[in-house]
Amino acid sequence: MRTRHLLPNYRIAVVGAGAIGSYYGGKLAHLGRDVHFLLRSDYETIRKRGLRIVSKGENIHVPNVRAYRATTDIGHCDLVIVAVKSTSNPDLPSLIAPLLGEKTMILTLQNGLGNEEFLAGHFGAARILGGLCFIGLNRTAPGVVERFDAGRLRLGEFEGFPKARTHDLSWEFKRCGVVCTVVADLARERWRKLVWNIPFNGLTIVAGGLNTDALLADEHWRTEALALMDETIAIANAYGHDIPTAFALELLQGTGTRLHAYKPSTLLDYEAGRPLELEAIWGEPLRRGQAARIKTPRLEELYRELSLLDRSRQE
């Protein structure tokens, strides 16, 4: 008789309760999972009012959020979900350390390149998984996240092929209403996401705050977006990640169909005066392209413009 496989009952910590952390942590908590949120600016509001996720097809309220001001108050967990911006990476070693038991997994849902490597350097590569969030989310108020499209989550191991734990974790997300799949090559998926993030997170800023619909409606910016996508694909292919050039046009068309008048989170960060994830999203891909001797004039120019904008606000 075949033994039924029982999924683990994870104790979960969410480090970074912005749009991404609140959404995925909130989905898990709503279905009764043991989720503990590290909160700072939204702590009082979420303690009083709970956490809300709203969209055309979804209206979730988590009234009793397990909220904490310090990870030392959370204690050891089975899974740590990292959803802070990469600009906060220097804080992660001290934040995550109190959460770790012998077999604790660390899942980073951050954008860009280098985050898994950073975490592996501090906590060991064997703990690290990566997740790619293909979803349109905005934090519209303290404790409120708005979802713009159905979205999907892809999980992979930092080292090697997927393990049993990767599939267990994927099933846990799926049981809580998240469309989730396991990928064999996490690095390739990171580059596939950068094909969208590099142009749209960057051009919406340098174009003066245009949303995705307005950007695509302008022939100049649409052409720039496509050129940046082509450069990103060329870098990825130079490292053996095999992304077809047609993928750029597919993403461009899908953006207009799914997201409509969407403002990427990086644009919202810029408008709110927060620092840009400059190195993870643009700097590191550019440096890898230069190392592979790939010509990337548009990426170089975009990185330069964003660097100047980011620096001017800090002076």
Q: With a cut of 90, say whether residue 49 has pLDDT above it.
A: yes
Q: How far apart are CA 285 and CA 295, in angstroms?
A: 12
CB 39 within 8 A of CB 17: yes
Q: How far apart are CA 107 and CA 212, in angstroms?
A: 29
CB 125 within 8 A of CB 137: no
Q: Are residues 28 and 146 in the same domain?
A: yes
pLDDT in tens, 90-133: 999 999 999 999 999 999 999 999 999 999 999 999 999 999 99
Set 48, 56, 163, 193: catalytic member = 193
Which of residues 164, 184, 204 is at a domain's end?
184
User: Does residue 56 have an active-site annotation?
Assistant: no
200 versus 253: which is more confidently predicted? Answer: 200
CB 53 within 8 A of CB 22: yes
What's the pTM?
0.90
Taking alpha carbons only, the member of 196, 209, 195, 199 closest to residue 263 is 209
Residue 241 structural domain: 188-312
Q: Are residues 143 and 72 in the same domain?
A: yes
The share of the chain scoring above pLDDT 90, in percent, equals: 77
Determine, yes or no, domain membership for 4: no
Residues 6+ apart with CB under 8 A from 310: 275, 276, 278
27 versus 260: which is more confidently predicted? Answer: 27
Determine, yes or no, domain membership for 244: yes
Strand 144-147 to strand 180-182: parallel, antiparallel, or no bridges (unpaired)? Answer: unpaired
Q: With a cut of 50, say whether residue 188 has pLDDT above it.
A: yes
Q: How far apart are CA 231 and CA 225, in angstroms?
A: 10
CB 175 within 8 A of CB 31: yes
Determine, yes or no, domain membership for 2: no
